[in-house]
Every structure is written in structure tokens, then in C-alpha cells.
Structure 1
Amino acid sequence: MNQAEASNWQTYRRLLKYVKPFWIAFSLAVVGNIIYAAASTGMAASMEYVIEAIENPSAQNRIMLTGLIVGVFAFRGVGTFMGQYFIAYVGRHVVNALRKQVFDRLLALPSRYFDNHASGRLVSKLTFNVEQVADATTSAVTILLREGLTIVGLLIFMVYTNWKLTLVFVAIGPLIGLVVSYASKRFRKISRRIQSSMGDVTHVSSESITGYRVVRTFGGEEYERERFADVADRTMKQGLKMASTQAIATPVVQVLVAFAIAALVWVMLSPEIRGTMTTGELVAFITAAATMAKPIRQVTSVHSKIQKGVAAAHDVFGTMDEEPERDDGQYAPERVQGEIRFDDVRFRYQDNLDDVLHHINLNIPAGQSVALVGRSGSGKSTMVSLLPRFYEYYQGRILIDGHPITEFSLSALRAQIALVTQNVVLFNDTIAANIAYGSLRDRSREEIVEAARKAHAMEFIERMPEGLDTMVGDNGVMLSGGQRQRLAIARALLKDAPILILDEATSALDTESERHIQEALEVVMEGRTTLVIAHRLSTIEKADRILVMESGQIVEDGDHRQLLEAGGAYAQLHQMQFSEGE
């Protein structure tokens, strides 16, 4: 067994573990398929009695024959239902379990994983790839069990009737095996390509749909059409390759089976082979051999589904095996004071890239408001991203109240931090549900209203058709930038965390809204350790302390007046913005 086959077998075995909890339903499916196979074998065997009844048309034979026909078909119908329904029951439960586990793992994966994987591809794993696994665990298994057992039943009947003739028929088996082996390898290779191209289809379409305004404003329709047509054509070509392989493999197998039946008929007419077989037995034998053509064809064609499923399972299990965020801390205080210390911290996004932060040393007393300023790319957002452990630094320590943040459990650490960014994320839910999101779900209506009022959001919420119960649309599309920002601030206010991170929190606001929000932020910042990243220096002049960053280092530290008097980097930034403002 080569490495690829060993890997496929491991994947099969891993999939079978998901079937284990539903062994009763699976057993019923097997029983159903045994009934179907027995009925199909019985149909071939009954040909002997049909010939006898035709040769001896007595009243008894007429009753027996009509009863036999109805009985066999009814028996097969019961088997078909049991086989199909119970295997589908198992398959849908397996898919449901896989889908939930993949989603759970995605929720636990580190930020780096999402930086390196397009969201469309990840959605494709949850939808298309998992559905391919369903095909392998439902219809493919049904066909394998049903038709495989039918082949076994017919072979047993043929051996029992005349073993010499059966050997002639079975001699063609190795050739069928070769055709199936070649086809399955090709199916597996094409399936991987189809999965990749389907991921591209989801990725390109989700990007175009999400960014439809940019697409239309900048005349990108033609470019997006070409981009989508390219990935759609690629998926179609792979699908056609799969179809052509299946279309060639199936008739080749049928022709081989036809050769076997022809050889059988030729040998049958030889008296020494035929022996003492009656006409009825001969017809039954030929019927059994001919009946076997369909199940053999179906079993060979099912390989495409199984290979698609295995390729998809490889991909799905690959995501499930990704390392989750490291969460081995045990410390879980109810509420921290909020003293933050960076102790010689260095960070890079990937091992082969340069450091983004160099030897950051910083002590922030509890309750102090600290503004981070500097040119784009100076490391401000990266620095605050380390605090909730969205990324892991590789040297130094970050401490809250003297405890390294790695000692905290992730949930306990993040419970101490409220975050407002310039890219506000809202969910397609009510305004109230967006403010009281996640762990805030159990907050009272009064608390939600109070948070919204402090964030100056009630002004526009009260004008909404259903107030707090108004749906905001996909990512808050029904709201303006300023309104979205105020909801994000209301969410942070409701959380009432001791540490507050404001990453360009007022960037999307007009001057009047900004003035309101600035007042609200001053209220919410009281008694909290606040890290503010701001592009507009006018918004952070009242901060207790301002840090100026350049190339991943802190180059200046002081309050607004001190830094202006020093005439350094901050004074230059202030002068530039002041000049632009005039």
C-alpha cells in the first residue's frame, strides 16, 4: 500500500468513527440492503419456476407465479426503503457533526490562519466540501452495500447452480479491477482540483458581492465577470474530466461483463459443461449473470463519489487538525485593575519576515489613557492586537496587574478588554442584539438603552421604524458610518471592561458626531486603562499620555504639551495636520 492509499484508508477509518454513534441506523440500512440483495437474487432464481410454469400451465402454478412476482417486488421495496432512508439518516448526521466541528475549530483558530486563508475558501469548506463527504457517506455507501451484496448473492446462487460456469464468468474480474483502479486514481486527482476551484468560485463571488459598491463605482464589473468566468470555467473543465472518466469507465466495464456473458453462453452450449442442467436452471443462471451487469456498473461508477468524498474529507480534516489558539492559562480574575506592562516585547507576523515591533518597553498605570500615534505601518494596531492575544509575541512579556497575559485563560483575558475599531462589525440582527452581543446577551433592556444613550446612539435609534428592534441588514448596511460606530461604542460601554482599546474609533464620524462621541468616550474612559489609536491628533490632545511610534519602536513619550515643546516627531505630525486643516 503506497503512502497516498494509506492516507486514504486513514481518512476512511476516521470517517467511520463518525458513523459509530449511529450504528443502529447503520445496521438497519445493512439489513435493508441484505433484503434488497436477497430479493434481486430471488428474482433471478425464480426464472427457473417461471420456465416450469410456462411449460406446465396449471392453476396452482399460475397462483404461485403471480404471488411470487408480487412478493419478490414487495420484499425488494422494503429493502430499498430501509437501505436508502437509514443510510441517509446516518450520512446527514455525519455531515451535521462534521460541519459543527469544522465551525467550532474555525472559531478557535488563531488570527494568522484567517490572515492566510480567504474567507470564501473557508465558507466553501463548510458548504461544498462537507456536502461531498455526505455524498460519499450516503448514496455511495448505499450503492456499495446494496449492489455489492446483490453481486455476492447472485454469485452464491451461480456457484450453487453450476460452479464451472461461474468460473468462466468470474475470469473477467481482474480486468474489471484494473479499469476501476485506474478510474479511481483519476477521480481522486480531479476531485482535489474541483475542491480547489470551488473554493475559488466561493471566494471570488463573496468578494464581488461584499464589495459591490466599490465594483460599481470603479467600473469593475467587467473585471469581476472575467475573474468569475475564469474560475467557473476551470471548475466546469474539472467536472467534465470527472464526467468523461466516469462515462468511459462505465461502458468499458459493461463491455467486459458482456464478454463474460457471451463466453458463458458459448461454454454453456457445450454438453459436457452443461451437464444435467434443466432449461429452467440454464435460464435462471443466464438471468443471474445478466442481472449482475447493472450492480457491477453501479459499483464501478460509485468510485467517483467515494473519491470526491475522500478528497473532501482530507480537506475538512486538514482544517479540523489545525492548531487552535494556545489557551493553557488558568488565571481568571473577575475584574483586573488594568495596569499594563510591556517588557522587551518583539513580534513578527511570520518567522521568515522582519520584526514589526522591536524591544517595546512600556508601563501603563491602571486608569491611564494612552494615545498611540504615528505614520501608517508604524506598529500601533499590531501592538494593541497583542494585548487580547490575537497574535503571540515571540520575545518578552506583556503583563496585566503583574500577571503575564499567557497565564490568563483566553476567555478571562478577553473579558477584561473592550474593543472599538474603525472597521465596525455588525451582524444581520436587531440593533439591541448587536449592542448586547455574545456574552452580553443577558443584559437588561434598560442597560442596553443606557449604553446606547451614553454613546449618543439613541438619537437615531428612536427615529428607526422599530427602535432597538430594527434589523440593521448585512453588516449594518442600513446604517451610516457614524451610526455603526456609535453602536460599536455602545457595545463597548455595555461591556464595562477595565481595559478599553479604541482603534481609530472616531474615524468614521462627521464633526458633530465626533464631538458627541468624544464626550461619551471621555465619560467611558474614566477609571479605565485606555489605549487609543488615532490618526487625527485633535481627538487625543486630552490623553494622559501620548506615545509616538516609528518603525515598530516608541520614539517619544509624554503628554500633548510636553511633546509639542520637545519639537520632535509629534510636533512635526501636529504641524502637518494643523497646516492641512487650515
Structure 2
Amino acid sequence: MIKKIKGLLNPVQKKSMIALVVLSIVISGIETVGISAILPFISVASDFSLATDNKYYHFVYTLLGFTDTQSFVITFGFVLVGFYISRGFINLCYMYFIQRYSQGIFLSLAIKIFSNYVHIKYQDMTTRNSSDLAKKLITETDNAALFFYSLLLLISELFVSSFIYAALLVVNWKVTLALTGFLGSMVFLLVKVVSGLIRKEGPKRNHFQEIYYRTINETLSNLKFIKLLAGEETAIKALNKSGQGYVNAMVMNKTYNTIPRLSLESIGFSLLISALIFALMHGESIASIIPVVSLFALAMYRLLPSVNRILSSYNNMLYYTKSIELLHEDLNIATHNLGNEPLEFTRQINIEKMSFGYTEDPVLENISLSIKKGEKIALIGESGAGKSTLADIIIGMYTSFSGHIHVDDELLSEKNMLSWREKIGYIPQSIYLFDSTVAENVVFGRQYNEQQVKEALHKAELTSFLEQNEGIHTLVGEDGSQLSGGQKQRIAIARAIYGDPDLLVLDEATSALDSRTEQKIMDNIFKVSEGKTLIIIAHRLSTIEQCDKVYKIEDRGICLVEDKTVQSDC
């Protein structure tokens, strides 16, 4: 676990933690002085003559040039007031620092893990659940921040309680050890019982929270189908069930965490009052025992919450241990480091004896294919035959395959994959549009060039529609809710050609459109792809009429279809 904790921190965060630990030691000294100063002040305030009779008081009295004992005591009181105000400010600053540190860890981990997710192999990402990834990025990173906050608080309170305990030993070691024996056994019992209960709630929280996130994601993604089946209540019940499990785990954790505080406060102060009663019953003078009792009372007032925070922080760390383990796993996942070595595409793409499978069973086997620059080809076949898989391999989404792909005479590899992807425009069947302007959806995070945006939209034949609205700044709504299906696909075309790619890939891009709209879109695509290489994945024969060649994928192999007007066998 220590290795996993260290593995979550970068070098700067490790140094910052050391600095915070050093600061906590300083604060512990200040806290101890604050507790210890009460006894001498109460003593001298109760008996002014101590200012001159006690050698320690007398030394300060003469050093500062006092001539009046009352002035000395009043000044002593004002100094203590100033000290406590300063102590409060320093503690506030420390709490700010550890909060900022822990929240900085939240952001740092979220960015690191998000970076791993976007750099992971595409093939590996397809096996992961998006709601689980979102949960880790949002909830588990926040839990990690709470873990480190609890860790720093535990370290700080350990120093504070140790320093105060040492001061109590100096004042009266017999009473201190007696209290230690009783309270220590109580703390041990609480750690054994309560911490064991809290440890069980952590995995429960993680389990139910995963189901909770997944239920929300799956319900909203399939809302139309759920409504069609009148399954709204079933979805609500599923969310309620997982939500109840999550809430119960949180409630039990919070409840268990209050047990140490309530137990220690009740027992600690009861013991202190009992000790005072015992002293009175044995004829002790109230005046003589009040300073000591006041010191122990104040120490208890500070020490018991400190011990409670130690136990609470320890329990929180146990509760969020699962978060540390989950984040450590995803911080160490294999990422896909791709190079940007120059790669030219002027003649052709050659695929040689390529085989690929998501598992041990191959989807494609011994595929060989040549695509000339500027050629328009179609890939057809039954659903699940491997058409989209072959296209994804060509555009560099899947890199774990046997065989070779050459672009001109250069081997396509991880060293030049980024250069190759820059030459590709991709139009999927289901286009994602975010809730922003047409222009921003076309650019899609790339360098913004307004003239290029307008040219791409003009080629996609969206100019007349935009002129009737707000131009390139027209809002599309969430996932293009303000647009028709044809308009969404035209934005997809504009997005694909914005970077002036050499290769355009259409993955059943028009299958959801009616025949008339599809024909207009396809005519438009062939027009904008003039001089470019075009790969079309389609089911409808009308979609591929203008293609130069048609290849059919069947039985894990590929063959050239001589007559593209019929769905012939290989």
C-alpha cells in the first residue's frame, strides 16, 4: 500500500508533503506551548506574589523591567491572547495548505488518468466500460484527495498529541499514565472493532457506486428504447437499489466514525471529574489542585479531539483504500506512445498477409490488398464480417496485427502513425456533435482557421442553411438536436475534410438516412473526394455505384467483386 500511495504522487507532491509534515511539527510545538502556558498564568493570576517569589517568574519580571505585579500579570494575559490569536491564524493557514494539497492531488490524478485513457490502445479501450472510467475520474480521484487529506491530518495530530502528552508527563506523570492506561485500552478496542466495520464498508461503497454510475449511463444512452418498452420504472428501481446500497455504506461509515469521538469525550472528561472528586474526598485544597486540573482539562479538551481525528483519519484511509488501489491500477496501464515521423502517401497502400483478432479467434486472416492513390473502393459483406475492423486497421486504430501495411514504400508503424492519421478523414455512421457552434464542431479541437471552416462547410453544401441562421456560429444543440439527420452528416463531412486529408473513410455513414437524402450526401462525398482516396463501408448497392472497385469480406478473407451491381459471393 505504501508503494501504491507513493506511486500516486509526483516528485513535487512528495516534497510538498515533507514540507507539510515539517510544518505540522512546528504547529505541534505551538499547540503544546498554548496548552502549557495556561498553568503558569493561572498560578500567577491566583497569587500575584509568585511574580517575585518564583525564580522563573522573577527572572522575566526583572528582565522586562516591571515594578508592579498586577501589570506583569495583565501583560502576561495580553501576550497569551495575542499568542492564541496567532496560533489560530497559523492553524487556519495549515488547514488551507493541506486542503489545497489534497485537492491538487485530485486534479493531478484526474489529469494523469485521463491522459492514460486517451493514450491507451484503441483496442484496449473498447473492452472498458465508460461509466466506470467516468467514476474513477470524478469520484475515485476525489476519494484519493480525501485519503491524502486524512493522512496529513493523522500525521499532524500524531505530533500534536505526542507533544501534549509529553508535557502532561512532565506535569504529573502518575496521573498521565493512569489516564493513558484506561484511555489506551479504549482506543485499542475502538480501533479493533470500529475500524474493522469501516474496512468492510469501503468495498461496498465502490461496488454499489459502480452500479449506480452504470445504471445512469446505460439508461440515458438507451432512453428511447426504454420508453418504447415502458421500462422507466424498472430503470428507476435499478437506480434506487444501487443508490440505497451506496447511501447505506456512506451512512454506516459516517456513523462508525462518530463512535470514537463520543466514547473518548464521555470517558475522558468523566475520568477527569472523578479525579477531582477523589482529591476533594481526601481533603486536598481546591486552590492547590485547580491549576493542575485546569491544565489537564485543557489538555483533554485538545487531546481528545486530536485522538478522535487520528482514529477518524485512520478509518477514512481504510474506507478509501479501494480508491487508491483502483487509481494505482489505471496510473500504470500501458499507454500507446505513437511517433510523428514523416510519411508520404503519393502512390498506394499495400496490405500484405494481414491477420487480426480481438481474441485468439481471428476476425480477418491472411488479407492482402492494394489501394491506389485517388482510388474509390467499397467494402461490403455481412454484419460482423470485419469490414469496419479492416477500415480501422487501415486508418491505424488497431496496431496489434500480424502482417504488414506499407504506405508507398514506407512500413506503417507506431513510429509514423501520427503522421498517417493526419492524412485521414473519417465519417462514422453515428456522428457525435457537442453542444456548441457549427464551426467548433467542424474544427473539433484542432487549430481554428475560419476560412478553412467556411470552405469545408461550402464543400459539404451547408452554406445556404447557415446563411438562414447564424452562419458558422449557428448552435447545433446537444448532440445536434437542432439539426436534421442530413445536416448532421454534412457537418461530419465538413469535419472530415477540414484538415484536407488524403484518405476519406465512410463507415456506413449514410445507412441511417432515407434513400433520397443518402443519394444527395453520397454525390456530395464523391464530389469533395475528387483527387482523394475513398474507402466506403456500405450495405446498399446504390451507395457504391460510383466506386472503382468493390471488395467483399467473407469467411475472414477478402475478394474482388467483379459485378458491383449484385451481392455476389467470393
Q: Distance in 2 between matches of 1:407 and 1:283?
A: 73
Paired residues of 1:332 and 1:409 also in contact (CA < 8 A) = yes
Which of 155, 163, 175 is residue 153 of structure 1 equivalent to? 163
Query: Displacement, 1:320?
Result: 1.7
Unaligned runs of 5+ in 1: 1-7, 571-582
Residue 301 of structure 1: SS of its match in structure 2?
Answer: helix
Amino acid at match of 2:359: Q
Q: The residue matched to 1:171 in structure 2 has which SS? A: helix
Normalising by structure 2, we get a TM-score of: 0.86
From 470, 475, 484, give the equivalent of 1:471. Answer: 475
Deviations 1:527-578 (A, max 9, x none): 2222110111111022111111223222x413435x75xx8338xxxxxxxx
Q: 2:390 aligns with which of 383, 404, 407?
A: 383
For 2:197 and 2:420, locate their aligned partners in 1 and report how far apart those are by CA, in whole Å: 50
Identity of aligned residues (%): 24
Q: What's the CA shift for 1:165?
A: 3.2
What's the CA shift for 1:119?
1.3
Q: Which of 431, 442, 454 is 2:448 aligned to?
A: 442
Q: Does 2:235 match 1:224?
A: yes
Q: CA deviation at 1:167?
A: 2.8
CA 1:450/1:152 → structure 2, altered by over 3 Å: closer, same or farther? Answer: same
CA contact (8 A) 1:45 1:288 kept: no
Aligned: 1:414 with 2:424: no
- The residue number in structure 2 matching 1:577 is none
Cα distance between partner residues in 2 of 1:407 and 1:56: 84
Mean CA deviation greater in 449-458 or 519-528: 519-528
What aligned pairs does 1:311-460 form with structure 2 within 5 A after superposition? Answer: 311-325=322-336, 327=338, 331-333=341-343, 335-337=344-346, 339-351=348-360, 354-406=361-413, 408-439=415-446, 441-443=447-449, 445-460=450-465
1:9 to 2, 9, 18: 2
The change in CA–CA distance for 1:447 and 1:135 in structure 2 (over 3 A counts) is: same
Q: For 2:552 and 2:224, how far apart are their aligned partners in 1? A: 35
Judged with a 3 Å threshold, the aligned counterparts in structure 2 of structure 1 residues 308 and 403 are, in CA distance, closer, same or farther, namely farther
Tell me the equivalent position of 2:62: none
Change (3 A) 1:380 1:216: same
Give the whole-Å Cα distance in 1 for the aligned partners of 2:543 and 2:143.
53
Q: State the number of aligned residues.
A: 547
Q: Alpha carbon RMSD of aligned pairs, Å?
A: 3.2
Q: Distance in 1 between matches of 2:120 and 2:489?
A: 27
Distance in 1, matches of 2:231 and 2:461, equals 37
Aligned pairs for 1:11-410 (under 5 A) are: 11-17=4-10, 20=13, 23=16, 27=19, 31=23, 34-35=26-27, 38-39=30-31, 41-43=33-35, 45-54=37-46, 59-60=70-71, 63-64=74-75, 66-67=77-78, 70-138=81-149, 140-141=150-151, 143-172=153-182, 173=184, 176-177=187-188, 179-180=190-191, 183-184=194-195, 186-254=197-265, 257=268, 280-285=291-296, 287-289=298-300, 291-325=302-336, 327=338, 331-333=341-343, 335-337=344-346, 339-351=348-360, 354-406=361-413, 408-410=415-417
Q: SS at 2:26's partner residue?
A: helix
Structure 2: how far apart are the matches of 1:253 and 1:205? 42
Counterpart of 1:489 in structure 2: which amino acid?
A: I
Kindly provide the amino acid, as one letter, of the partner of residue 4 in structure 2: T
The residue type equivalent to 1:159 in the other structure is L
Cα separation, 2, equivalents of 1:289 and 1:253: 10
Decide whether the 8 Å contact of 1:32 with 1:81 is kept in 2.
no
Distance 1:153 1:453, change over 3 A: same
TM-score between the two structures when normalised by the length of structure 1: 0.84
State the shift of 1:196 in Å.
Answer: 3.4
Of stretches 309-318 and 489-498 in structure 1, the one that deviates more from structure 2 is 309-318
Query: 1:405 offset after TM fit, Å?
Result: 1.9
Q: 1:19 to 1:156 in 2, by over 3 A?
A: farther
CA distance in 2, matches of 1:16, 1:340: 45
Please state if 1:568 is matched with 2:557: no
2:550 counterpart of 1:558: no
Structure 1 stretch displaced more, 523-532 or 302-311:
302-311
User: How far is 1:128 from its partner?
Assistant: 1.0
Deviation of the 1:330 alpha carbon = 6.0
Unaligned runs of 5+ in 2: 50-68
> What corresponds to 1:534 in structure 2?
538
The alpha-carbon distance between structure 1 residues 227 and 284, as it changes in their structure 2 partners (threshold 3 A), is: same
1:87 and 1:142 map into 2 onto residues whose CA distance is: 7
Q: Would you say the 8 A contact 2:151–2:314 is kept in 1?
A: no
